[in-house]
Structures are given as structure tokens and as C-alpha cells.
Amino acid sequence: MSSNLVAGKDAPFSVNPESENVVADHPTARAKPVAEIRELAGALIAAVVAVLVIFSVAGEYPLFGMFVCAVLLFLVLYGLLSWWLHGLLVMKSRLGSTYVWAGGALALVPLVDMVVFIVIRGAPVVISHFPSFLVHDAVGGPTEPVWKVGVGPAIVGSAEQVGLATLYTVPVSVLTATYLTEYDTWFTRVVRVIVDAMMGMPSIIAGLFVYLWWVQPRHTNGYSGFAASLALAVLMLPIMIRTAEEVIRVVPGSLREAALALGAPRWRVTLRIILPTAKSGLITAVILGVALGVGETAPVLFTALGNNRYNFNPFSGAQADLPLQIIQNVRSSSPNLVREGYGGAFVLITAVLALFTTARIIGSSKPGRRRMRRRNKEVVTQ
């Protein structure tokens, strides 16, 4: 009888597995029906053909105007077709989705254009006589071949400056984010306002602050990679704090409540439960901060000054930096130095894209998911 109640066709409390709403860990997007794709493609083709015919009759071919007219006509045709075949509600839904996808595509156009331009102009410089461009210093006249000079000192300087800044900011950002998440007092509100203000601070302000506080009292001896790392730390700190705060806030409150109910002190709950659970998100916050620091130019201009030779000691003497060397070479009147600037830009954009891709991969899973799955497997095996 129980089996009939569970699996019987006419049972009043039968369970139909196909009708249950099961929430998957990774929900997949609904695939578009073939008919919807055909309707969208048909409206797009009709709009493009109509615009080409109209402008051909007029004898004018302004590319931007043709593009705008084709987009507007496509939206009108696609909306009318959806309304005629499926009704007003479906038309609104499809047009809303089309606006979102079109906005995302337009936002990617400048990024793709910039990446393609840098790759075309800079990749041949780096690949030619590889790895000479990555290890040689920048000492040489404007008539020297590109492969005889390079960005070796700039790569070393950027790595040391960003590395030092990361050492300063990681513990401070994690502790501050934990405090902002776990406590709610007047001081936390003040700190959050300060962090938000620092998020919108121009990068040149950080450079001027460190210049007036550290470099100017020491005159020419104040220029160093250490001073540049201080300026970069000021810029990296707010984004790392906000990212880490959001990640820690996502940790389920039930974990905190269970640990506190067992008698664990709050500091132990934070160190043994919350931070390990949010480990992947915290790593993402660190990588995002590093990616921001790698591409900054204005703070380094006032603190590191730049150097054409290797300087492995960040605490003494002016030091090279990759974004700073790029802007100096690109503004030069020498074609060879301009090519070196584009080669350095290719190295920089490759490093930044690699950091953002790594952050995206690490942050793709929710905090603590892998840890919870591993524990569930251990319980099942036991």
C-alpha cells in the first residue's frame, strides 16, 4: 500500500519526480527554441537588407548611420513579429533580452578593439628574437634595433612593487573585511564610508600623497620601488576590502550559528570556519587587487621615477615600472621607442588578462562549496 501511495498512478499523494522543482548547484540557462532563433535571424536579415537597399538608392554609405538604422529597424521588426506571432507579453520579454545582449556586445567592442590593436602592434616586437625583449634593459639610443633593448628592468620593478604592496594589503584587507562583516557598530559604518570614498579616489592622488609624505622630504633619495609600493597599496586596499567583504558576507549564517552554539569563541569561528570557507573568494579579491596595481601609472611616476637599468633593490634608488616605461616610449618621437612601447603594452595587457581570467576561474564557485562537497563525500564513504 505504501508503494502505491508513493509510486502509484492514482495515489492521492503520489510523487512525480519529473514535476518536482529541483534546484541544481549549477543551473543552466534555458536553450532558445529553434523557432525563436529563426525569427530573430529573419528580422536581422530583413533589417540589414532593407537598410542596404535604402542607402544604395540614396547613393550614400555612412557606416555609423547605416549601423544605427539597421539596429533600430531590427528592433522594430523583431518586436512586431514577436507581437504578431506570440502576443504582447512575449514581445516585451524578447525585446528586453535583446537590449541586454546588445548592451553587453556594445560594451565589449572597445575592449576587443583595444586588445586586437595592442596584439597587432606589440606581439611582433615580443616574439621577434624571443625572449630578448623580455630580459634586455632599456639602455640604448633611439636608433638601436628593437631586439637590443627591452622591458626587463620594468618587469622586475613592477613585480617587486606590486609584490610589496600585496604584502601590505592582504592582511589589512582581510582583517578589515572580516570586521565590517562580523560587527555592526558606528565605527564599522565610518570605516565603510572611508573605504567607499577610497574606491572613487583618482590614482594620481595616491601618488601625490606618498610623494609629499615620503619622497619630497628625502629629495632624490626618496624615489624607490618601496615608495611606489606604498602608493599602489593605497589604491589596491579599497577594492580588496570590498571584494573580501562581499565574499565573507556570502558565507551561510548557519555555519556561524552552529559553531557559536557549540561554545566556540567568535575569533575561533572566524579563523577556523568563516575564512577557510571563503578562501577561494579571498584569493579572487587578492588577484583583482594585484591586477589593479599592475596597470597603474600615475602613482609610480611620482614615487619610482623610472630607470633604464636593472635595480633589484626596491628600497634604494629609482626603479623602472612597466606602465611608466610604456607611456614614456609611446610619447617619444622615435619609431623604435614607440614600437618598444607597444611591445611593453602587449606584455602588460597579457599579464592583466591572465590575472582577471584566473580570478574569474577561482571565483566561479561559491565560497565553501568544494569544502562542503569534500566533507559530504567523506561522510558517505564512512
Task: Report whether 138 contacts 149 (CB < 8 A).
Answer: yes
Question: What is the per-residue pLDDT across 218-260, written as a single tens digit (0 to 9) for each?
Answer: 888 889 999 999 999 999 999 999 999 999 998 888 888 898 8
Top mean-pLDDT range of 140-144, 260-264, 360-364: 260-264
Quote the mean pLDDT of the chain: 84
- Predicted pLDDT of residue 103: 84
Q: Is the pLDDT of residue 322 over 70?
A: yes
User: What is the rounded CA–CA span in Å between residue 295 and residue 11?
Assistant: 66
Confidence of residue 131 (pLDDT cuts 50, 70, 90): confident
Segment 331-353 mean pLDDT = 89
DSSP 46-94: HHHHHHHHHHHHHT---HHHHHHHHHHHHHHHHHHHHHHHH-HHHHHHH
DSSP structure class, residue 305: B
pTM of the model: 0.75
pLDDT at 14 exceeding the cut of 50: no
What is the mean predicted confidence (pLDDT) over 27-41? 70
Residue 193: pLDDT band with limits 50, 70, 90: very high
3-state secondary structure of 316: coil
Mean pLDDT for 344-367 is 82
- Among 114-123, 134-143, 263-272, 313-322, where is mean pLDDT lowest? 134-143
Whether the per-residue pLDDT at 345 is higher than 90: the answer is yes
pLDDT at position 332 is: 83
Stretch among 186-190, 213-217, 331-335 having the lowest mean pLDDT = 331-335
Read off the pLDDT of each residue in 197-206 and give the average, rounded to a whole number.
90
Domains and CATH numbers, the chain: 34-125 (no CATH), 146-381 (1.10.3720.10)
**Residue 120 grid coordinates:** 597587432
- Mean pLDDT calculated for residue range 137-144: 75
Q: In the beta sheet, which residues pair with residue 319? A: 305
Residue 18, pLDDT score: 43
Q: Residues 266-291: what's their mean pLDDT?
A: 89
Cell numbers found for residue 370: 568544494
Note the pLDDT of residue 28.
Answer: 43
